[in-house]
Structure 1
Amino acid sequence: MFTIDDLQKLYNSSNYIVFFGGAGVSTESGIKDFRGENGLYKEKFKNYRPEDILSKSFFFNHTKDFYEYYKTHFLNPNIKPNKAHDWLAKAELKGKIKSVITQNIDGLHQMAGSKNVIELHGSVHRYYTVKKNQPIDGLPIIIKTEGIPKDTDGDIIKPDVTLYEEPLDTKVVSNAIMEINKADLLIIAGTSLTVYPAASYIQYFKGENIVVIDRMPMNFKNFLQGNVGEILSKIKI
């Protein structure tokens, strides 16, 4: 049986640790995951399924409803980093964690102090205009706009997040694969590894050890069950 002490030994002996995280990393901050017991996918919004709302076609066909849902579920200003984010930032500062690859869009890793963060699905802190395809400081506009947020030219503002029906950014993917390939220890946490193509990047790991942390049981040799922040905070940096 794999233990905290075993993870500590791997942490101590590894030189290039990469962290690959999913929604379960942020649940301890009060953010709902998607597929969990009380996840977002269990709740409909105006008779729409969240999977449909978070799609490219829904954004363009029902922009007002998209933003009503988006603002309610993804723009909580009171959300703060938790023990997992803090531990990762400190471990990076010590030179142990080389990069954080995240499927989350909440920006909590950067808020905690992590520098080398690869955001596979974008960020709620970045926006661009649809027609001009230009970056814009869209968050203040979205917060104060009741309906569809637009720039001064009337161009619709879109979050820089990857929706269903959209491809991942090729440069971001390339960076993630490169980091996984260089790692001698890969820590996978808070993800069921069912979101593709992100989950498929694990195949590029060529190192010796993979450790998986999740609240739900998973079939991995080096597996720790529990909350990510609680487990990581027991590892001495």
Structure 2
Amino acid sequence: MDDRIAILRRILDESSYTVALCGSGMMEEGGFVGVKYADKAYDIEKKYGHSPEEIFTSAFYHTRPKQFFDFYKEEMIINAPEPTDSGRVLAAMEQAGKLQCVISSNIYELSQRAGCKNVIDLHGSIYHNYCLRCGREYSVEYIKHVKGIPACEKCGIPIRPGLFFFGEMTDPHLISQASQAIHDAQVLLLLGTTLNSEVFAHYIKYFHGKWLIMIHKERHFLDDNADMVFIDQPKNILSQLGYC
């Protein structure tokens, strides 16, 4: 274990409350490419005649459900990413009492599927789907395999994916939970994200703890504002800590 890894391990061991913010880099390290990335977005617009930002909206879901679900199934469900070593280390840290909360921007429950229990999914999850009329819940497998538009078996209306569309406000309860967790943290880990992240910047301002630690694969102009920075994929650093 090199000196900086040993220091990070000691910081985590001495912390009474550690929070991890898991950004898009946590999916990228497993080879997943999100729909908003330039090349992927171009391919989607060419294939469906609309950009991801147009398709993945409440208006498109309500007015063009067939096109919406064609896109949703093919581009967001079928090729869903799998948890990486990062998630497994976080789960081991949580089990050891060294991680109190994970705050995630992905919709694939990567942290939960790796074994983490205390997770705040700011954007919802593909695994929780429901009928807007009767509230009946449907699995992602049902959405994936049903032909045509996935509809409620009772009400006959399109099932609502259990996540937030582009442009929708995050649930105020989730915002409050995330803000409070960060406020309480002694150590804040930023994994696969940056200080000016579109998702996390609003929350990071609530951090007044001892250690702000960043692990991401490319240098960023705001890195100097952190107390410790590792330029690498999160899995390569976390796996050296010795928690699993």
Is the structural similarity TM-score above 0.5? yes
SS at match of 1:110: helix
Offset of 1:85 from its aligned partner?
A: 0.5
The match for 2:129 among 123, 127, 130 is: 127
Q: CA deviation at 1:146?
A: 2.7
Quick one: which of 48, 51, 70 aligns to 1:68? 70
Partners of 1:184 and 1:208 within 8 A in 2? yes
TM-score by length of 2: 0.87
Between the aligned partners of 1:170 and 1:44, the Cα distance in structure 2 is 31
Task: Pick closer, same or farther for the CA change 1:64–1:105 going to 2, 3 Å.
Answer: same
Q: Which residue identity does 2:197 align to in structure 1?
A: T
Equivalent residue for 2:197, pick from 183, 194, 198: 194
The 3 A distance-change label for structure 1 pair 194 and 58 is farther
Name the counterpart of 1:85.
Answer: 87
Q: Secondary structure at the match of 1:210?
A: strand
Q: 2:236 aligns with which of 214, 230, 237?
A: 230
Q: 1:224 is paired with a residue of what secondary structure? A: strand
Contact 2:89 2:239 in 1 (8 A): yes
Give the distance between the partners of 2:114 and 2:168, measured in 1 at CA.
Answer: 29
CA offsets per residue over residues 144-189 of structure 1, 9 Å max, x none? 2232110112021011111122111111111111111110000011
Question: In the alignment, which residue of structure 2 is the partner of 1:43?
Answer: 43
Contact in 1 for aligned 2:26/2:191 (Cα 8 Å) = yes
Structure 1 residue 105: Cα displacement: 0.6
* Partner-residue secondary structure (3-state), 1:159: strand
Q: Distance between the aligned counterparts of 1:37 and 1:89, measured in 2?
A: 32
**8 A contact 2:36–2:52 mirrored in 1:** no
Change (3 A) 1:73 1:6: farther
Q: Which residue is 2:144 aligned to?
A: 143
Contact 1:43–1:49 at 8 Å: present in 2 too? no
Cα distance change, pair 131–57 in 1 and its aligned pair in 2 (3 A): same
The farther-off stretch of 214-223 and 14-23 is 214-223
- CA shift, 1:81, in A, is 1.3
Query: For the aligned residues, what is the CA RMSD?
Result: 2.1
Inter-partner Cα distance in structure 2 for 1:56 and 1:7: 43
Contact 1:131–1:156 under 8 Å retained in 2: no
How many residues align? The count is 233
SS in 2 for 1:160: strand
1:26-57 Cα deviation digits (max 9, x unpaired): 2233321355575x445333231112222221
Unaligned runs of 5+ in 1: none
Q: Is the 8 A contact 1:29 1:82 kept in 2?
A: yes
Unmatched segments (≥5 aa) in structure 2: none
Deviates more, 1:149-158 or 1:25-34: 25-34
Taking structure 1 as reference, are residues 37 and 230 closer, same or farther at Cα in structure 2, changes over 3 Å only?
A: farther
- Give the TM-score of the pair, scaled to structure 1: 0.89
* Structure 2 residue identity aligned to 1:16: Y
What are the Cα deviations for residues 1-29 of structure 1, in whole angstroms up to 9, with x where unaligned? Answer: x9434422322322211001111112233
> Separation in 2 of the partners of 1:213 and 1:135?
40
Identity, in percent, stands at 28
Match of 2:149, as an amino acid? I
